[in-house]
Structure 1
Amino acid sequence: MCILFIAQQKHPRYPLIIAANRDEFYARPTAPAAFWNDNTSILAGRDLEANGTWMGVTRKGKIAAITNVRAPSEVRTDATSRGELVTNWLKDDRAQVTGHLTEKLTEQLTEQLTDQSTDQYLQQLKDTRHHYNGYNLVFGSASALHVYNNVNNSVHPIQQGVFGLSNADIVTPWPKVTQGVTSLNKYVLQHDTINTEDLFALLRNEDRADDQHLPSTGIGYEWEKALSSIFINIPSYGTRTSTILLVDSNGELSFKERTFTEKGETTQTREFSFKI
């Protein structure tokens, strides 16, 4: 995942909205979003090279997504694949409560265990931060998300507002991040009903940043320019998928994934919905 936008508690009908693009080399083998055969609770696409994923959810409402931190001079070839960090969070169901309990007691226990599980996983991330190349990991549930950055060992709660995250930390205002945050914030404030096609259009923005606003990450001008748009389509590399995740006020989760060819043409849109 190379860019994502999150609207948390900004829309009266949809307390959580996530719109995200995964940018990757076209040659890297990938499976589209589906419930996994080896863990039927997980809904996600799959990186068939390292067997992890870039973004996913579970039937019980756990959510995770990852973006790489762009720092070519610090990349290690022996680092562990970052996609497993998403998978590990989704596989860990310690935060879930099942059984014949009263609704109020279930809610109380779930909240306590979710906090405990989040703290425990965050400690794991800190303990293993040097095993991976730079990343931002969004993880949690529909009601409580956090972003952990292993480069500066920082964690930021995603509270009420609209947030954007790309290949720097969450407080770095890259032009395409600012552009997407502004567009999503304006959209949720002006629309009573969320149309996923409008969100896909937001993710399809190919406007590149002006030269004076380009970030400097050590990859040279041509690459900085080519990667400065929300949607990327260049030879050998580009936006492979766009994903929209909505959770409404009744706990209904909607997950839509759209995939693209090397020419930026849509190949398919896969849709899933279930109650969490």
Structure 2
Amino acid sequence: MGIIAFNWGEGKNNQLTLLMNRDNWENRVISGTSWNRNGQILSGRCVANNGTWFGISKRGRVAFLVNAEILLDDVDQYTGSELYPIEFLESKKSPLEFADHVARRERQRHNNGYMSDPAEGWSYSLIVADMTLNSMVHIRKPVQAESNVMIQPVPFGVHTLSPYDGLDSTELPRDLRLRSLFSQMILDLGNNELMEEISWRFMYDAEGGRDAVFLQTRDDHPSGELGMLRFGTTSTTALVVKRTREVMLFERYMEVNGAWTTHDFAFNIQ
């Protein structure tokens, strides 16, 4: 799961400003953000399948994902919607070409016998963008058991991304609260001001219980074997991509022992 607010800017100093909370069960091991082996892709990873929910490359490609199937915590070592962001970041396809590729892939998975059970499908919203092309596309698969994929270019402006309602949900209190907080942050953000301090204040907002931006609950794990576990926010990512091609990324994530670690990265799109 997760929750995201971002501003896809037209004009002004910042091309993209993004805040994201990643939510998952505490038994799922998540690594902090780091560079891949060739130093070209910056992302955190899920140890179970080496997938990610967010990444950015030095070529200016960005991908971020929210998915509903993570609630079931049924992770396959070789598949999952979390592999799509890495595939996009490594590919040379434009955002729209990649969206068409995902749609074809999902039809194949559902219609050609790749799944023994339709319930093994995925439900997700994925944003893929190329900063050098100034192009951003939303890829939405709303129903786990169906192959239908919706594709839409993302217009400029402030948006939220929800694992249940996709782009710009008007129904869920959690999305509406984050949109309000994020819109306020964008107005308060000065041209030369780093986003870190302001973003932390909003993304750690815990008002509203299960509808809070920062989620922390304890529930029975869906496997029925692990008992009561924490389900909630395990990382926060803040990203700014400037029109000068300068990138700033800040992260706070939960270690396996429950301690929180913060770090930041800065580089230029090549």
The residue aligned with 2:14 is 14
- Return the alpha-carbon distance in structure 2 between the equivalents of residues 254 and 205 of structure 1: 22
Say whether residues 1:140 and 2:129 are aligned partners.
Answer: yes
Matches within 5 A, 1:122-133: 122-129=99-106, 131=109, 132-133=121-122
- Return the alpha-carbon distance in structure 2 between the equivalents of residues 261 and 46 of structure 1: 13
Offset of residue 71 of structure 1: 10
Matches within 5 A, 1:207-218: 207-208=207-208
3-state DSSP of counterpart to 1:32: coil
- Return the alpha-carbon distance in structure 2 between the equivalents of residues 164 and 175 of structure 1: 12
Matches within 5 A, 1:4-153: 4-9=4-9, 12-37=12-37, 39-69=38-68, 80-92=79-91, 94=92, 117-129=94-106, 131=109, 132-142=121-131, 143-151=134-142, 153=149
The residue aligned with 2:221 is none
The residue aligned with 2:227 is none
Say whether residues 1:233 and 2:216 are aligned partners.
Answer: yes
Q: 1:10 to 1:198 in 2, by over 3 A?
A: farther
The residue aligned with 1:272 is 265
Range that drifts further, 155-164 or 21-30 = 155-164
Amino acid at match of 2:216: N
- Return the alpha-carbon distance in structure 1 between the equivalents of residues 74 and 122 of structure 2: 6
The residue aligned with 1:203 is 203
- Return the alpha-carbon distance in structure 1 between the equivalents of residues 215 and 263 of structure 2: 21
Paired-residue identity, %: 21
3-state DSSP of counterpart to 1:136: strand
- Return the alpha-carbon distance in structure 2 between the equivalents of residues 71 and 249 of structure 1: 34
- Return the alpha-carbon distance in structure 1 between the equivalents of residues 70 and 23 of structure 2: 16
Q: 1:183 to 1:10 in 2, by over 3 A?
A: farther
Say whether residues 1:172 and 2:166 are aligned partners.
Answer: no
**Higher normalized helix content (fraction of residues):** 1
- Return the alpha-carbon distance in structure 2 between the equivalents of residues 70 and 47 of structure 1: 14
3-state DSSP of counterpart to 2:235: strand
Q: Which runs of 5+ in 1 are unaligned?
A: 96-116, 209-224
- 2:237–2:252 Cα contact (<8 Å) kept: yes
Q: TM-score, normalised by structure 2?
A: 0.78
- 2:19–2:238 Cα contact (<8 Å) kept: yes
Q: 1:181 to 1:122 in 2, by over 3 A?
A: same
- Return the alpha-carbon distance in structure 1 between the equivalents of residues 246 and 75 of structure 2: 41
Amino acid at match of 2:163: N
Range that drifts further, 231-240 or 189-198 = 189-198
How many residue pairs align between the two structures?
A: 234
- Return the alpha-carbon distance in structure 1 between the equivalents of residues 46 and 75 of structure 2: 18
Amino acid at match of 2:213: I
Aligned-residue CA RMSD (Å): 2.6
Range that drifts further, 148-157 or 40-49 = 148-157
Say whether residues 1:189 and 2:172 are aligned partners.
Answer: no
Q: Which runs of 5+ in 2 are unaligned?
A: 110-120, 143-147, 219-229
- Return the alpha-carbon distance in structure 1 between the equivalents of residues 181 and 36 of structure 2: 33
1:84-126 per-residue CA deviation (whole Å, 9 max, x = no partner) reads 101100111x25xxxxxxxxxxxxxxxxxxxxx2232111111
- Return the alpha-carbon distance in structure 1 between the equivalents of residues 135 and 46 of structure 2: 26
- Return the alpha-carbon distance in structure 1 between the equivalents of residues 175 and 161 of structure 2: 6
Matches within 5 A, 1:243-254: 243-254=237-248
3-state DSSP of counterpart to 2:45: strand
Q: TM-score, normalised by structure 1?
A: 0.76
- 1:17–1:246 Cα contact (<8 Å) kept: yes
3-state DSSP of counterpart to 2:184: helix
Amino acid at match of 1:158: V
1:121-164 per-residue CA deviation (whole Å, 9 max, x = no partner) reads 11111112254410101111233221110225212322221100
